[in-house]
Amino acid sequence: MSSFTEYRIGEATITRVTDVVLDQLSAEQLFVNWNPELPRRHPDWFLPGTMSDDDTHVLLSIHSWVIRHRGQVILVDTGSGNHKERPHAMYFNHLQTAYLEGLANVDVRPEDVDIVMTTHLHVDHVGWNTRLEGGKWVPTFPNARYFFSKLEHRFYNDPSNHTERNRTSFQVQEDSVNPIVEAGLATLLDDTERTPVAGFELYPTPGHSPGHVSIVFRSGHDTALFSGDILHHPIQVFDPTLITIFDADQEAALKHRRWGLNFTADHKALFFSPHFAATSVGRVLRSSNDQFSWEFL
C-alpha cells in the first residue's frame, strides 16, 4: 500500500497524486498587482514549502485528487499530461512525468477509475485525460465517465474565441478533451446540472475561465471543497485581492475567490487546492476582523 497521506471525508479517503511542481514564475510574474513590499510587511504569509528560499518565486503544484468513495474511484482534475505540444506554455511542453506511476503507488490503475470530475478545461487540469498510443490520443481512463462544462467546451471550440490568450486552451481541446467526447465518455454539463454524481455538488465559479466550477463533496458530517483555480497560492488567502495573470475576468475571479474562502470557513470544510504546494490541503480560518488565514494539514 502507498505511504501517501490520506485524508478522510466521512466514508471517503482522498489522496494527492502529483504530476509536476513548477518553480519558474516569480511573484511579480504570477500576480498582476504584486507588491514587492509584501515579504517585508507580512513575512508570516510566506508559508514554508510555498515559495523559493528567497521568497521571489512561487511554487505551484499540479496534481489530481484521488477519491475512494463507496467502491468508486473518482479523480478531480488530471494534471498536464505527457508528450503534449505546448509551444506557448513551455513549462508544459512535451513533459515526461511519472503521473501514472504515482497513481500506481496509490493502487490505482487507469482502468480502475470510474469518474473524472473537471473544474475547468485548462492545460494543467485535463492533460492526463488522454495519452499517446500509436500516434493517437486515446482516453487514459477507458472505463471512466468524464464530467465537464458544456459552456467551456463550446467556448474553447468556437473559432471566434481563438485569441492569443486562449491559443493553448484551443490546443488542449484537440488532444485532451475532444478525444474524450469522440470516444463517447464525456458528460457535458449545463450550469443548472449541479449534482451529477452522488455526494458531489458543482458551484459555478467563472472568472478564471468561462465555465469554471468548484466542487463540493460531502460524506457523513464532513465537507470538502475542491476549489479549482479560484486561488493559486496560499498568499491569496491572506490577501484575496491578489490577481493572477491566468484570471480571464479579474472582477469575477475576485468575487468567486471570496466566495470560496467564505464557504470554506463557514462550513469548516477541508480545502483541497489544485496548485498549493506543500500538502495542498488545509483549512481557511476567519479572524475576528473578518480576515482570512491558512493552515496546512
Predicted pLDDT of residue 53: 82
86 with 171: CB under 8 angstroms?
yes
Q: Give the separation between CA 154 and CA 270, rounded to whole angstroms.
A: 32
Distance (Å, whole) CA 131 – CA 21: 20
pLDDT score recorded for residue 13 = 98
Residue at 144 is within a domain: yes
Provide block-wise average pLDDT over 10 residues at a time, the chain (297 residues). 77 98 95 94 94 88 98 98 97 97 98 98 98 97 98 98 97 98 97 92 98 98 98 97 97 98 98 97 91 97
| 238 in any annotated domain | no
38-48 b/e with 16+ CB inside 10 Å = b?
bbeeeeebbbe
Distance CA 113, CA 74 (A): 6
**Structure letter (DSSP) for residue 269:** P
pLDDT of amino acid 3: 47
- Print the domain residue range for 79: 6-227
Q: What is the pLDDT of residue 1?
A: 33
- Per the domain annotation, does 172 fall within a domain? yes
Note whether residue 16 is domain-resident. Answer: yes
Instruction: Tell me how many domains the chain contains.
Output: 1
Instruction: Tell me the per-residue pLDDT of 1-13, one tens digit each, with 9 for 90 and over.
Output: 344 799 999 999 9
Distance CA 79, CA 230 (A): 16
112 domain-assigned: yes
Give me the CATH number covering residue 204: 3.60.15.10
Asked whether residue 45 is domain-assigned, the answer is yes
CB within 8 Å of 59: residues ≥ 6 apart = 21, 22, 23, 49, 50, 51, 52, 277
Looking at the domain assignment, is residue 123 inside a domain? Answer: yes
**Residues in CB range of 210: below 8 A, 6 or more apart:** 151, 152, 155, 248, 249
In a domain, 47, yes or no: yes
Q: Which of 213, 192, 200 is nearest to 260 (CA)?
A: 213
Beta strands in the chain (DSSP E): 6-9, 12-22, 60-69, 72-76, 115-117, 130-133, 136-139, 145-149, 186-189, 200-204, 213-219, 222-226, 270-272, 281-286, 292-296
Give the pLDDT of residue 92.
97
Asked whether 113 and 143 are in contact (CB, 8 A), the reply is: yes
Q: Are 14 and 66 in contact (CB under 8 A)?
A: yes
